[in-house]
């Protein structure tokens, strides 16, 4: 039964794309219309690109890349940190003078530089993956705001049509009352119905203003129409930006933990110096080469704490990657099911609307012939109005389900 409905459902979705893009009006903007048309995005891809350009973390990511470059330079060579130059002069009243100059530096352990360079490389990969992750998250927010705005506009359009119908009906009933054909009660009911439609319109416009504000905070001026997003193919879950980002962070944390083990060891410091001295005030100077080694009598507690913290961070990052993977698998399955459900809901909403439209025509005919009263006619019109709202919402929901599916695949618009 479901398979037989697939073709009309797809056709309805395509018709919905065109109808939403061409017939749904929006609220007037504060900008000049010509200027708005020039700067408003035409597609969801353009809106996402604008939102990504506004991403405040871009500068931070560049600073992190600069940090990685500095870490790579610092990990080269046999020494940790810059060398230290020291000079001493010892003089006494007897004319004895001793001068000494030396250069000392902390020496890397074998393999420490390679471990630090690996940690820096993986840190850079984590920075790049995190930027892709941030872009995808921004795309998800834009997709949500895009279709929320489309839904709000669609509902406002329906309510505006209903207020026009209510005004027309109120005018007709008023003319009948003035001619003595219709009762005063029907006129009061028509006025009450018009007030109810007006209240729904104001509520819908309030929702539209809120949706527009959320969208503008993300991507700027709102679009004139809402073009549909094509459904993407199933992608490899390991290529999902969220998976790659969490795995890259886990790998970077593991590399930092491995590199921190060297820092927790006693840091040997070597020195080379020249001593220039004379033991007689009238004698000549003599020079001597000095070699020194300084070995701490224990391990650095701060370095030990840093190593434990790096290890804990690596464990947490690995666990987070596992949780993200499980959540994405569930999200992908749910996103595929939501497309099927949204298609069926759209199909049923279209059938309901068509049936109620025919029922209203028959009710209007019976009213004209005097067989049906005004209240029954009004109820039929209210039912059709509710079906119109449900259909407009279902159209947008079917398109939003495709965007949600693409988001679960980790694909930008």
Tell me what the mean pLDDT of segment 235-261 comes to: 86
Check pLDDT > 80 for residue 300.
no
User: Is 277 in the same domain as 347?
Assistant: no
How confident is residue 96, by pLDDT bands cut at 50, 70 and 90? Answer: low
Q: What pLDDT sits at residue 262?
A: 80
Residue 413 lies in a domain: no
How confident is residue 124, by pLDDT bands cut at 50, 70 and 90? Answer: confident
Residue 401 lies in a domain: yes
Alpha-carbon span 188 to 33, nearest angstrom: 40
Q: What pLDDT sits at residue 15?
A: 33
Spatial CB neighbours of 335, under 8 Å, sequence gap ≥ 6: 401, 404, 405, 407, 408
Q: Which residues pair with 102 in a beta bridge?
A: 86, 273
Neighbours of 130 (CB within 10 A): 21
Residue 350 lies in a domain: yes
User: Is 167 in the same domain as 146?
Assistant: yes
Check pLDDT > 80 for residue 324.
yes
Percent of the chain scoring above 90 in pLDDT: 14
User: Is 87 in the same domain as 234?
Assistant: no
Domain that holds residue 34: 2-76+110-261+302-408
User: Is 104 in the same domain as 143?
Assistant: no
Spatial CB neighbours of 69, under 8 Å, sequence gap ≥ 6: none
Tell me what the mean pLDDT of segment 100-104 comes to: 82
Alpha-carbon span 45 to 224, nearest angstrom: 14
Q: What pLDDT sits at residue 350?
A: 93
How confident is residue 94, by pLDDT bands cut at 50, 70 and 90? Answer: low
User: Is 383 in the same domain as 353?
Assistant: yes
Residue 72 lies in a domain: yes
Task: Determine which of 87-91, 150-154, 159-163, 405-409 has the lowest per-residue pLDDT on average.
Answer: 87-91
For 383, counting Cβ atoms within 10 Å of its Cβ (0-12 exposed, 13-18 middle, 19+ buried), the class is middle
Spatial CB neighbours of 332, under 8 Å, sequence gap ≥ 6: 234, 237, 408, 409
When divided into structural domains, the chain yields a total of: 2
Check pLDDT > 70 for residue 325.
yes
- 151-182 tens-digit pLDDT: 999 999 888 888 888 888 778 777 777 766 66
Give the three-state DSSP class for 107. strand
């Amino acid at each position: 039964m479901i398979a037989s409905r697939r073709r009309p459902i797809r056709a309805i979705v395509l018709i919905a794309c065109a109808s939403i893009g061409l017939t749904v009006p929006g609220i007037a903007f504060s900008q000049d219309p010509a200027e708005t048309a020039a700067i408003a995005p035409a597609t969801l891809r353009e809106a996402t690109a604008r939102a990504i350009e506004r991403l405040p973390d871009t500068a931070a990511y560049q600073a992190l890349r600069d940090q990685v470059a500095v870490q790579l330079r610092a990990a080269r060579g046999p020494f940790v940190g810059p060398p230290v130059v020291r000079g001493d002069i010892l003089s006494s009243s007897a004319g004895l003078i001793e001068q000494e100059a030396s250069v000392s530096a902390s020496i890397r352990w074998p393999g420490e530089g390679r471990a630090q360079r690996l940690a820096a490389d993986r840190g850079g990969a984590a920075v790049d993956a995190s930027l892709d992750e941030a872009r995808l998250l921004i795309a998800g927010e834009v997709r949500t705001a895009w279709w929320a705005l489309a839904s709000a506009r669609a509902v406002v359009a329906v309510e505006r049509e209903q207020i026009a119908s209510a005004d027309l009906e109120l005018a007709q009933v008023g003319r009948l009352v003035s001619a003595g054909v219709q009762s005063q009660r029907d006129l009061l009911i028509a006025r009450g119905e018009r007030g109810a439609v007006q209240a729904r319109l104001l509520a819908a416009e309030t929702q539209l203003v809120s949706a527009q504000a959320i969208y503008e905070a993300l991507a700027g001026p709102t679009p004139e129409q809402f073009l549909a997003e094509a459904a993407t193919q199933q992608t490899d879950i390991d290529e999902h930006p969220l998976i790659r980002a969490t795995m890259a962070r886990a790998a970077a944390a593991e590399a930092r933990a491995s590199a921190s083990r060297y820092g927790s060891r006693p840091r040997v410091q070597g020195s080379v110096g020249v001593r220039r001295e004379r033991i007689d005030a009238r004698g000549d100077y003599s020079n001597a080469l000095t070699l020194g080694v300084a070995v701490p009598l224990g391990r650095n507690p701060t370095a030990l704490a840093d190593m434990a913290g790096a290890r804990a961070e690596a464990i947490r990052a690995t666990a987070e990657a596992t949780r993200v993977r499980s959540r994405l698998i569930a999200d992908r399955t749910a996103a595929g099911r939501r497309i099927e459900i949204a298609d069926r809901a759209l199909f049923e909403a279209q059938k309901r609307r068509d049936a109620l439209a025919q029922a209203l025509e028959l009710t209007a005919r019976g009213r004209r012939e005097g067989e049906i009263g005004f209240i029954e006619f009004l109820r039929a019109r209210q039912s059709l109005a509710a079906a119109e709202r449900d259909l407009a919402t279902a159209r947008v929901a079917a398109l939003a389900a495709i965007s949600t599916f693409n988001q679960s695949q980790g694909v930008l618009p």
